[in-house]
Amino acid sequence: MASTSSPPPSQILCASFNQENSLFYVGTNDGFRIFDVRTGRLCYEKNLGGINNMEMYFGSNLLAIVGTGEQPVLSPRRLRLFNTKTGATKKDLNFKTSVLAVRLSKKRLVVVLQDRTFIYDLNSTTILEEIETVSNTKGLCAFAPNSEACYLAIPASTSKGSALVYKASEPELICQIDAHQSPLAAMAFSSNGMYLATASEKGTIIRVFLVAQATKSHSFRRGTYPSTIYSLSFGPSNDLPDVLVATSSSGSLHMFFLDAARNRRNQPNKLLGSIIPGAITDALDPANHHIIQKVAPAEIKSCVAVHSVENSQNSSKLPALRTIVYIITYDGYFREYIINTTKSNESSWVLHCEFSLLNTGSLPPLQLSDLVDQLLLLFLRRFQLKSQDPEGHSEVS
């Protein structure tokens, strides 16, 4: 009697959030899945073979996907623009080497290869700029899709932590930021493009830079021992104060308050600070550092996003700050944390939600109130996309 072997279990190969942090995806060795962050509802699933890289176009049906090569049509050297509503391919872009990262904004498509980066006009898929880069084997980049300039940052060196910052809307090179002595491991822009956060391969210090001035704004110590920074994320730019979170190979979540660090510094002479900003801005302020340990198993890759920051300093009955953070871990889980920080800078946290991404039977049930909210949100997003999107891409359904 012939024996039949069961297929290998699903493994997460890539994961991230859309530009609005309203949806998130996981790419696996089977295909990909898209979830709603508020309800945990599985919005879309497609089993078409391994997916190595992926990017969503806000809340629409347009996706950019890159395969593992197990299927001939999903070569790692091919980027496919895919419509989830029709199941049709809008465009295939082929390259000489593997696609390591993809980023999308309303007008731009960024494709990162090992030794070059392409900036496309999204609507016509014509190349606007081809940038020769240093060897970028991990496809490291940062992109600010919601900013007017659509800032793009890519490594400038393989021996130290320097980044080149481009204005993808033009496109043009605007500055080089020398952030660390060791090579870069992670970067992230704030949603409005005002800040760029960086971490080196050592992972002990996280620095924040003002992009327009190419100057250092903040320095935070993550820890004493080296650790790989997997993900960096700023809070929404319309929320105060500015919040930066990071996840690392230690399995911890780190949260830093930028405004609090700035306000605690003693700056009696503004002129002196403008002349020697390094003496002021590189001061480490551990009082603004909050840690949640064991949000993921050690050495398990993760992706983090700040959903919101609520400032309640005018009410004595509520915490001074209430921060909602989402984490995707590559062992197959989504977690939502609520972090409360008091006026005296003491913090507490609650694991508000947790579910498996690979076993859809464990997804939380969709309540009637959630369904009403989803229908209203769907209507508003459809209206917004139709009024702003020249391609008319519709909402993920």
* Segment 129-165, tens digit of pLDDT: 999 999 999 999 999 998 889 999 999 999 999 999 9
Tell whether the model's pLDDT for residue 85 goes beyond 80: yes
Q: Is 180 in contact with 225 (CB distance < 8 Å)?
A: no
Architecture of the CATH domain 10-139+366-397 = 7 Propeller (2.130)
Tell me which residue has tokens 């992230």: 188
Domain range annotation of the chain: 10-139+366-397, 140-364
* Segment 240-258, tens digit of pLDDT: 678 999 999 999 999 999 8
Q: Is 41 in contact with 57 (CB distance < 8 Å)?
A: no
- In degrees and rounded to multiples of 5, residue 254 shows phi and psi of -115, 135
SS3 91: strand
Tell whether the model's pLDDT for residue 285 goes beyond 90: no
- Residues contacting residue 63 through CB under 8 Å, at least 6 positions apart: 25, 32, 54, 55, 56, 57, 81, 82, 83, 84
Cis peptide bond N-terminal to 297, omega within 30: no
Token pair recorded at residue 91: 């465009």
Q: In the 8-state DSSP scheme, what is residue 284?
A: B
- Of residues 164 and 378, more confidence is placed in 164
Instruction: Report the C-alpha gap between 139 and 184 in whole angstroms.
Output: 11
Number of H helices and E strands in the chain, helices first, is 4, 28
For the chain, percent of residues with pLDDT exceeding 70? 79
- Of residues 333 and 8, more confidence is placed in 333
Instruction: Report the C-alpha gap between 102 and 108 in whole angstroms.
Output: 11
* Segment 192-207, tens digit of pLDDT: 999 999 999 999 999 9
**Residues 89-105, mean pLDDT to the nearest whole number:** 98
List Cα–Cα distances, 163 to 54, 133, 134, in angstroms: 23, 11, 11
Q: What is the pTM of this model?
A: 0.84
- Of residues 157 and 282, more confidence is placed in 157
The pLDDT of residue 395 is 52
- CA neighbours closer than 13 Å in the CB half-sphere of residue 193: 20
CATH class of 140-364: mainly beta
